[in-house]
Structure 1
Amino acid sequence: MADPMPVFDGHNDILLRLLLAPDNRRRIWIEGEGQGHLDLPRMRAGGFAGGMFAIYVPSPAESDPPDYDAMMDSPPYEIALPAPVPLSTAQPVALTMASHLMWMERSSEGAFRLCRSVAEIEAARAAGAIAGVMHMEGAEAIDDRLDALHAFHAMGLRSLGPVWSRPTIFGNGVPFRFPGDPDTGPGLTDAGRRLIRECNALKIMVDLSHMNEAGFDDIAGISDAPLVATHSNAHAVTASTRNLTDRQLAMIRETKGMVGLNFATVFLREDGKRSPNMGWEPVLRHMDHLIAKLGEDHVGFGSDFDGAAVPEGITDAAGLPRLIDALRAHGYDEPLLQKLAWGNWMSVLRRTWGA
């Protein structure tokens, strides 16, 4: 049996699983407990050879939360955004998650490497190790003076999204609404503009996923780097606030940027439902549209593994070869599949990081 095609993935949330179950982290990561989407055994089985590992600070638990899953299976819906998370709460959590990522490297005995450059990612792949890049989804752990940005950069931070939907001191994200569009409020604050400029100076990739339209436009007007959305889909196919309009896709293409196809069913299905009971058609429609608008050199994968419900055809990281087979059966040839799976991410990271 041939080895699976190596895949670089734009976004996953396994660090959140480790944060919520610290006493079980070896079983989750090394041994594989069969839950969630990611662990070393399934990543190896599916060809998951590298990706962005998100530091995401969860909102405080609600005392009597609504059934969000049921809401998202009965569109239309609009889920209220949680309140901002203060720096004093967010920073210790983010540091713990960064530490978990370093523990993942140490505990894997060479099977996983924390990487800070494309050269290190390619070296990890050549050695048969999985390459992990530290990403921050929502910048609540960064102070308005940006001192902590430099500390996290020294730890390995190479990609950052200013918001995860809820507001931060840097800007505003989109609510989870279907149907809806990303024009939902004001854009970057003055602190947000400073953040983008400093990320450019440090060669930290800025992630546009979760940004509202005004914030997207503000970043496009400030940033000197390619515009990248690590895990987003096409609004023309699925009218979710989280998906990108054709105007936004054109702006990304102009900068030779990148979009990672999000596997989350609510952003794939034309009806906006969460149910994983779906065929390949929604995935293929989004991928076709993204390639048509961006070009085949500017699209990849951004799974949202361990952060969302994914199609039953994929199920988890071990299902990546089934996705590749579906794209192949749809008519994508081998050179294009290799670009989507790996090459396009390496190209945009070189353009962003400079190495």
Structure 2
Amino acid sequence: MELVFDGHNDVLLRLWRTAKDGGDPIAEFIEGTTNGHIDGPRAKKGGLAGGLCAIYIPSGDLVLKEPDANGHYVTPLSAPLDHLPSLTIALEKAAIAYRLEQAGGWRICRSTADIRSAMDEGIFAAVLHMEGCEAIDDDLDNLETFYAAGLRSLGPVWSRHNIFGHGVPFAFPMSPDTGPGLTDRGFELVKACNRLGIAIDLAHITEKGFWDVAKTTDQPLIASHSNAHALTQVARNLTDKQLDAVKESGGIVGLNYAVTMLRDDGRDNVATPISDMIRHVNYMVECMGIDHVALGSDFDGASIPEEIQDASGNQILVAALKSDGYGTDELRKLCRDNWLRVLGKAWHE
């Protein structure tokens, strides 16, 4: 079995919703469930040894648009969120992460040594990530508090605007060049992350924001769950020019399993063959080289191919990659080593 360290999941969102509905999120993860994509038993079955676990503040007004007769759609961006309610939700999700650690469900990792140690011990290696920074105050005063609590990665924006920058909509076909980039506060956020050693994720930001980060950061460029725009022209996928910049920086792109970002028609259809996943991996490897491609499933945050189904199906993708000609060393890089190398650089290790 090829162990996988995954670049993005939304399991904390699902567990938070379980808690809000009166359920027990800790038991759900440790004992297993049929809900969503990730829990301890399914992760172990599929070789999912860890990943970046998102603290994401949901947008209640977001409704994905249905495609028109031509298969085209544009979902309007969600309204900006207020800071204090967002901070409350972020702290609630962080509390679930800590309760899971205390119960032995996973280990919160702050370094690549932590990740390797947890994986060696068979404990799920969770890295706290913030997807959209509405919980961060405009003076960045609580950024260091979140860092002390274990935050090691953040995306300045989700697919909505905030005080730090602008996000891309869920739209097909559309360029990622959909609006402005970072705000003045956004540039300060990038500099603060560089100083602390917090990885910066470009998965939801506009193309202008991507270039704003690229010219400001001292880190490798990271798009934790994105695919190739040349193959699937959704606004969230990366152009060839962006892929070139990721390569030049020594960065990484994690393959997003979301079917809308894999299919050439951009539709939300789980009857999407694994060959579409391989097609995007092959394209990104051809553009950037094997050292700059990894996995970023978006488990618990998107519709994924029905053959994969959930975290237990990760080895189906690994087997397909092997059948397509990827050798042992290449699979190790795609599945975990590339993430550990790039995170280590971002974290000043």
Q: TM-score, normalised by structure 2?
A: 0.96
- 2:14 maps to 17
Counting only pairs closer than 5 Å after superposition, residues 241-260 of structure 1 correspond to structure 2 as 241-260=235-254
- 1:333: Cα distance to partner? 1.0
- Residues 226 and 252, structure 1, Cα contact 8 Å, conserved in 2: yes
- 1:32 maps to 32
- 1:71: Cα distance to partner? 4.3
- 1:47 maps to 47
- 1:76 maps to 72
Counting only pairs closer than 5 Å after superposition, residues 326-345 of structure 1 correspond to structure 2 as 326-345=320-339
- 1:331: Cα distance to partner? 1.1
Judged with a 3 Å threshold, the aligned counterparts in structure 2 of structure 1 residues 170 and 127 are, in CA distance, closer, same or farther, namely same
- Residues 73 and 274, structure 1, Cα contact 8 Å, conserved in 2: no
Task: Write the distance in 2 (CA, Å) between the matches of 1:300 and 1:278.
Answer: 20
- 1:74: Cα distance to partner? 7.5
- 2:83 maps to 87
- Residues 202 and 221, structure 2, Cα contact 8 Å, conserved in 1: yes
Task: Write the distance in 2 (CA, Å) between the matches of 1:73 and 1:341.
Answer: 38
Which of 248, 258, 265 in structure 2 is aligned with 1:264?
258
- Residues 12 and 306, structure 1, Cα contact 8 Å, conserved in 2: yes
- 1:28: Cα distance to partner? 2.2
Q: Which runs of 5+ in 2 are unaligned?
A: none
Which of 98, 111, 117 in structure 2 is aligned with 1:123?
117
- Residues 262 and 304, structure 1, Cα contact 8 Å, conserved in 2: yes
- Residues 174 and 241, structure 1, Cα contact 8 Å, conserved in 2: yes
- Residues 188 and 218, structure 1, Cα contact 8 Å, conserved in 2: yes
Counting only pairs closer than 5 Å after superposition, residues 146-295 of structure 1 correspond to structure 2 as 146-295=140-289
Task: Write the distance in 2 (CA, Å) between the matches of 1:31 and 1:101.
Answer: 16
- 1:354: Cα distance to partner? 2.3
One-letter code of the match for 2:275?
A: E
One-letter code of the match for 1:33?
A: T
* Residue range with higher mean Cα deviation, 157-166 or 17-26: 17-26
Task: Write the distance in 2 (CA, Å) between the matches of 1:127 and 1:18.
Answer: 24
Q: TM-score, normalised by structure 1?
A: 0.95
Task: Write the distance in 1 (CA, Å) between the matches of 2:160 and 2:71.
Answer: 21
One-letter code of the match for 2:11?
A: I
SS in 1 for 2:344: helix
Which of 94, 100, 119 in structure 2 is aligned with 1:98?
94
Which of 306, 309, 321 in structure 1 is aligned with 2:303?
309
> Runs ≥4 in structure 1, deviation > 4 angstroms?
69-74
SS in 2 for 1:84: coil
* Residue range with higher mean Cα deviation, 165-174 or 74-83: 74-83
One-letter code of the match for 1:42?
A: R
Query: Size of the alignment, in residue pairs?
Result: 346
- Residues 65 and 74, structure 2, Cα contact 8 Å, conserved in 1: no
Judged with a 3 Å threshold, the aligned counterparts in structure 2 of structure 1 residues 124 and 348 are, in CA distance, closer, same or farther, namely same
Judged with a 3 Å threshold, the aligned counterparts in structure 2 of structure 1 residues 45 and 290 are, in CA distance, closer, same or farther, namely same
Q: Deviations over 1:121-180 (max 9, x none)?
A: 111111111100000000000011001111100100000000001001000010111000
Task: Write the distance in 1 (CA, Å) between the matches of 2:207 and 2:216.
Answer: 14
One-letter code of the match for 1:91?
A: L
- 1:69: Cα distance to partner? 7.1
- 1:57 maps to 57
- Residues 239 and 272, structure 1, Cα contact 8 Å, conserved in 2: yes
- Residues 198 and 346, structure 2, Cα contact 8 Å, conserved in 1: yes
SS in 1 for 2:122: coil
Does 1:113 pair with 2:110? Answer: no
Amino-acid identity (%)? 48
